[in-house]
Structure 1
Amino acid sequence: MFSIIQAAGWPIWPLILCSIIALALVIERFSSLRTARVAPPKLVDEVLTVTRSNLPSPDVVNKLADNSVLGRVLATGLRAVINEPRISEANLRNAFEGAGRAAVHQMERYLNTLGTIAAAAPLLGLLGTVIGMIQIFASQGGGTGGNPTELAHGISVALYNTAFALMVAIPALMFYRYFRGKVDEYVLDLEQAAERMVPHLMRFTAQR
């Protein structure tokens, strides 16, 4: 492998850097976008049960916010009702929407970088191949007496850049699409949770 890297020349080093960054981002996103850290399945039901008769204390709300991304969104709605007992439904929905936008921004973190690597890696590989081809033909001196075997070998070496670039770009694109789909699913979960919480919390504003 090291001999291949040496033969491919300096253009392959940006691709190696992209591959390391892409691997780190994939591992980080797998950890951050786990269901337990974003939207635990029964969290909304638990919150509805706890707040069936009265609003929770600030300590309980803080623990909810530290639970997950969904917990942070739900805690924002609870704090809005606690801090403003006469809050209108429109303002409560605005509070949920603001928290939801922040949550989406957090879930989409690094995805643009991963998508950029997936798009840029083939271009970097093509650049490396073109540079290699230029060097090969320049070394032939423009004459007709070049060794065909050496020329074929040089072209195969130049194509290492394109091959390695595709090895980086294809997995990066697949993981980018996968994580985008996960984020879209979580966004739907957040929206449905907010829709369930709004009428539930509005009961407390009517009682005050």
Structure 2
Amino acid sequence: MYWLTNGGILMYFILLMSIIGLAVIIERFIYFKANQQITMVKLRPMLREALEKQDIKGAISTLGNTKSSTARVLREILAFWYQTKTTNIISLEEKGREAALAQIPQLERNMWILSIVAHTTPLIGLLGTVTGMIKAFQAVSIYGTGDPSVLANGISQALFTTAGGLIVAIPALIFYNYFNRKIDEQINEMEKGSAELINYFRK
């Protein structure tokens, strides 16, 4: 409350942005923890064994129960092959690409909100700096420079909003880049998994 009281009305906007940013960060952590822990390192042995045994239905069922974007893409490719029995590599690649594109919105969900928090909050802090300095100089023009507290009040507001904006924006930017890295890793996993599975059908 001390910061809100001394930072002026813009501190409430910064507080709101911090709550929104924190909510997105928690949601993304839960999503990646719950849905993106299974990689090709774990999927490869199961998939290889199923293909060697020609147990395609079993592989499709197992992949369908696995919470992973890569598993979902592989399942779509296998299901497409099982239904069509096509050996057309281009068709399989297109199906893999289509399935991967369908996963991307889930991976990127709410990232635009975190981007807004990371890039807008410093500007709100900067606006608070400007309005605080305007308030300080208006006070000086009215009351003169005899009382330092008159000038200090506006400068204090300016510094509070600047600091508040940076305190919120820096972690938001760090987590924004962290989650983007996680998204890139998942996209690479999907591409690698699709390529490995489709290469099997080239034989």
TM over 0.5: yes
Greater helix proportion: 2
* 5+ long unaligned stretches in structure 2: none
User: Which amino acid letter does the alignment assign opposite residue 16 of structure 2?
Assistant: L
Q: TM-score, normalised by structure 1?
A: 0.86
Question: How far off is 1:34 after superposition?
Answer: 3.1
**What is the TM-score with the length of structure 2 in the denominator?**
0.88
Partner residue of 1:23? 22
Residue 131 (structure 1) aligns with: 131
Q: Is the 8 A contact 1:115 1:176 kept in 2?
A: yes
Between 15-24 and 97-106, the greater mean CA deviation after superposition: 97-106
Instruction: Flag structure 1 segments of 5+ consecutive residues without an equivalent.
Output: 204-208
Partner SS for 2:65: helix
Aligned amino acid, residue 7 of structure 1? N
Q: Which residue of 1 aligns with 2:3?
A: 4
Distance 2:145 2:109 in 1: 56
> Does residue 71 of structure 2 align to residue 71 of structure 1?
yes
Residue range with higher mean Cα deviation, 75-84 or 136-145: 136-145
Which one is further off, 41-50 or 169-178? 41-50
Of all paired residues, the percent bearing the same amino acid is 32
Distance in 1, matches of 2:42 and 2:52, equals 15
1:91 aligns with 91
Deviations 1:131-179 (CA, angstroms, capped at 9, x unpaired)? 2222333334445344123312431232100101000011111111111
AA at the equivalent of 1:100: A
What pairs up with 1:102-117 in 2 under 5 angstroms?
Answer: 102-117=102-117
Aligned to 1:147: 147
Q: What is the RMSD computed on CA atoms of the aligned residues?
A: 2.2
Q: CA deviation at 1:186?
A: 1.9
Cα offset, 1:76, TM superposition: 0.4
Note the C-alpha offset of 1:198.
0.5
Q: Which residue of 2 aligns with 1:164?
A: 164
Counterpart-to-counterpart distance in 1, 2:139 and 2:149: 14
Distance 2:9 2:149 in 1: 23
Provide the secondary structure at the position in 2 that maps to 1:181: helix
Check conservation: 2:96, 2:194, Cα contact below 8 A: yes
| Partner-residue secondary structure (3-state), 1:122 | helix
* Residue 122 of structure 1 pairs with residue 134 of structure 2: no
Taking the aligned partners of 1:6 and 1:16, their CA distance within structure 2 comes to 12
Q: Extract structure 1 runs of 4+ deviating beyond 4 A.
A: none
In structure 2, the residue matched to 1:206 is none
- Superposed CA deviations along residues 99-148 of structure 1, whole A, max 9, x for unmatched, are 11122232122222212211111001111222222233333444534412
The answer to whether the Cα contact below 8 Å between 1:39 and 1:189 also exists between their aligned partners in 2 is no
Distance 1:38 1:108 in 2: 16
**Paired positions, count:** 201
Helix, strand or coil for the counterpart of 1:74? helix
Question: Distance between the aligned counterparts of 1:27 and 1:97, measured in 2?
Answer: 29
User: 1:60 Cα deviation (Å)?
Assistant: 5.5
